[in-house]
Structure 1
């Protein structure tokens, strides 16, 4: 039973990894950028929203919660939009590798700002959802885990509908596949790319607000969730959302399984890195095979 409980504990983390991986996959597919600063943007918005508490101290707890969440989403969307505008303005013709490398600089900048503004001490970022969603015998599945999984599924389904069934989706595919041709046809390439950055950034701000301090106590540590999120996205090759969701759940489950044994608990943080290394080696091996053929 211990291993089952450990897997259930890993489910919550895995669902969060899946949602982060979905966000990274959307950015890769629609904007040709692997946005390593995505989690940092959401976390920065969520933690900065705490600073509004003194301004709304007279309001009821529910009103305070709504205001802080709205602020988190708006701040994250704004920061992400600014980063997207920079990419679309000065790196529109750059390779995916170059565009993605710039987001590493953004990540480091946001980590530095988070450390300066929030320090390394725990911040009073309360999770929006507390407690178990339901029980299966002695195993409790948390509300946060269910919310993250549902959010990942909803984002994936909505993206598929928009991309494949709407005129907006046609423009988004055109921007992703043939940017120059889309510009010649009068498509607002920069506006669409910035819009994608803002929407995904806002989703990450909402995500950080929902989980609160359940994943990490301080902003800097919470930003490192981009590592298991990247591992999940790699399972789907930054293209396949269903596989990305499965990858996130598998990474979380493996981490949970290790916590069932005291001797292996310390190894749980190595699981995402191991997944990343294995998939990179597999992809490299596949390329070698293709060349040999």
Structure 2
């Protein structure tokens, strides 16, 4: 059981990192970005192609892939900031489904529909707890999620850029009237979250199902994790991701229920939605 929980930390750290990105997107640019993992997937596939087909050193290919992921996200952000700046959150979020499907289709055309041969950039055991080995991948993903969440909180609360971003998200019309340049700030948020997503996916992909669809659909457990904090709280997004990963690892160790592991994010979402709406449901039942 403990072995399974520890093994789930790597996936949990990935979910947490993506959930932090989704939370930042929701808070700062009013979008639930369904293409969050898709841009990271495509950046990762570009990195694999550069290393395996062109012979680029793995560190250089990795950096290029991360930048590609960020640029793809920034391109989607530019579309949202240019043509959907006045749209509501639902419309802006729905728009991201198109780029998600486009990236998956394009990856099939360019790279094929089989899992990609990702070279691990981080591998091996880091340390052991009670005889249970913790991998460097788990340490890296959990650390990435925590560092990004903590850094984002510091930037948003203690820097001028953070104040501008908060003003832009909470009072966009007022911010525009005050001369805040919303479009560059918005695109910057998209780029940074794209870089984080690509980094997390490239770290974990060698140890996960790494075909285009599986990697892109990581947005589902990430969204379930972000939902714990209502797409507002970064700390709860991290907790949700780690909890979901650990729970998935534990369930995978139990033969009787191992088959339901892939359904856990959906169960997580349903339970959280029912819990957040409990007051309205109870009031209506009276």
Question: Normalised by the shorter chain, which TM-score bucket?
Answer: over 0.9
Q: Does 1:156 align with 2:149?
A: yes
Which of 220, 230, 235 is equivalent to 1:227? 220
1:157, 1:187 → 2: CA distance? 25
Which of 44, 47, 50 is equivalent to 1:46? 44
- Aligned pair in 2 of structure 1 residues 167, 274: CA closer, same or farther (>3 Å)? same
Which of 7, 10, 15 is equivalent to 1:9? 7
Asked if the contact 1:115–1:220 (Cα under 8 Å) also holds between the matched residues in 2, the reply is no
Asked if the contact 2:51–2:58 (Cα under 8 Å) also holds between the matched residues in 1, the reply is no
Q: Give the TM-score of the pair, scaled to structure 2.
A: 0.95
Instruction: For 1:253-272, list aligned pairs within 5 A.
Output: 253-272=246-265
Q: Secondary structure at the match of 1:135?
A: strand
Q: Secondary structure at the match of 2:207?
A: coil
Match of 1:104 in 2: 97
Match of 1:139 in 2: 132
Match of 2:19 in 1: 21
- Aligned pair in 2 of structure 1 residues 150, 108: CA closer, same or farther (>3 Å)? same
Asked if the contact 1:7–1:257 (Cα under 8 Å) also holds between the matched residues in 2, the reply is yes
Q: Does 1:214 align with 2:207?
A: yes
Q: Does 1:129 align with 2:127?
A: no
Aligned residues: CA RMSD:
1.8
Instruction: For 1:165-176, list aligned pairs within 5 A.
Output: 165-176=158-169
Match of 2:87 in 1: 94
Match of 1:246 in 2: 239
Q: Secondary structure at the match of 2:47?
A: helix
Which of 171, 194, 201 is equivalent to 2:194? 201
Which of 268, 271, 274 is equivalent to 1:278? 271
Q: Which runs of 5+ in 1 are unaligned?
A: none
Q: CA deviation at 1:74?
A: 1.3
2:181, 2:118 → 1: CA distance? 38
- Aligned pair in 2 of structure 1 residues 290, 182: CA closer, same or farther (>3 Å)? farther
Q: CA deviation at 1:219?
A: 2.2
Q: Secondary structure at the match of 2:128?
A: strand
Asked if the contact 1:128–1:211 (Cα under 8 Å) also holds between the matched residues in 2, the reply is no
Q: Secondary structure at the match of 1:211?
A: helix
Q: Secondary structure at the match of 1:134?
A: strand
- Aligned pair in 2 of structure 1 residues 218, 263: CA closer, same or farther (>3 Å)? same
